[in-house]
Amino acid sequence: MATRNESRYISESCHTGAIVAPAVAICDSRLPMTATFPEPRDPLSSSPWTFLTNHAHVLLAIARNRHVRLREIAVQVGITERAVQKIIAELELTGVLTKFRNGRRNHYQVHANAPLRHPRESHLTVASFVRLLHDDVTLGSDTSAA
């Protein structure tokens, strides 16, 4: 038999719908038993996913303008400047681009022949990816895959 405190705990769990002690099915009849169901979700608003990652968006912004500022990229992609810095560092580390400093400004060189990272797309290059989405962007004749 449940003690007074356990009965209270169990009856509160019955009221909220939480499963606290599945072996004991005691509910206080003084509390209304109501079932709550989640509201139906709009599939477009509940999962804000996109086909392209932030890495892809940053790479495309740099491919369009190799003199673009971090702040401009952050606004275009919808992320923080710090997140843009981290993504650029990761793209540099994997050999997709090189960052050059000229005074107070950064300039970037996208390595057109660098392979895409995922094994299913590793036969494709950065240039083919950029051309797929922006056929007006020319990455130059960079042959380094770093």
Kindly report the CATH number assigned to the domain that includes residue 118.
1.10.10.10
Domain that holds residue 22: 1-35
pTM above 0.75, yes or no: no
Domain count, the chain: 2
User: What's the confidence (pLDDT) of residue 29?
Assistant: 56
Domain membership of residue 47 (yes or no) is no
59: Cα separation from own chain's centroid? 15
User: What's the confidence (pLDDT) of residue 13?
Assistant: 46
Q: How far apart are CA 65 and CA 18, in angstroms?
A: 54
Residue 75: partners with Cβ closer than 8 Å, 6 or more residues away:
none
Q: How far apart are CA 68 and CA 39, in angstroms?
A: 43
User: What's the confidence (pLDDT) of residue 35?
Assistant: 58
Q: Where are the alpha helices (DSSP H) in 78-145?
A: 81-93, 126-133
Domain membership of residue 80 (yes or no) is yes
User: What's the confidence (pLDDT) of residue 139?
Assistant: 72
Neighbour count for residue 91 (Cβ, 10 Å): 22
Element (H, E) at 24: none
CA distance to 3, 4, 32, 37, 60, per residue, from 27 (Å):
13, 13, 10, 20, 59
Answer yes or no: do 60 and 89 share one domain.
yes
User: What's the confidence (pLDDT) of residue 134?
Assistant: 82
Answer yes or no: do 62 and 118 share one domain.
yes
User: What's the confidence (pLDDT) of residue 56?
Assistant: 95
Residue 42: partners with Cβ closer than 8 Å, 6 or more residues away:
none
Answer yes or no: do 23 and 82 share one domain.
no
Q: What are phi and psi of 121, to 5 degrees?
A: -115, 10
User: What's the confidence (pLDDT) of residue 137?
Assistant: 72
- Least Cα distance to 63 among 127, 142, 118 occurs for 127
Q: Block means of pLDDT (10 residues each) for the chain, length 146 residues? A: 50 48 51 59 68 94 94 96 97 96 93 93 92 78 44
Answer yes or no: do 30 and 64 share one domain.
no
User: What's the confidence (pLDDT) of residue 108?
Assistant: 96
Contact 105, 99 (CB under 8 A): no
User: What's the confidence (pLDDT) of residue 135?
Assistant: 76
Answer yes or no: do 118 and 69 share one domain.
yes
User: What's the confidence (pLDDT) of residue 37?
Assistant: 59
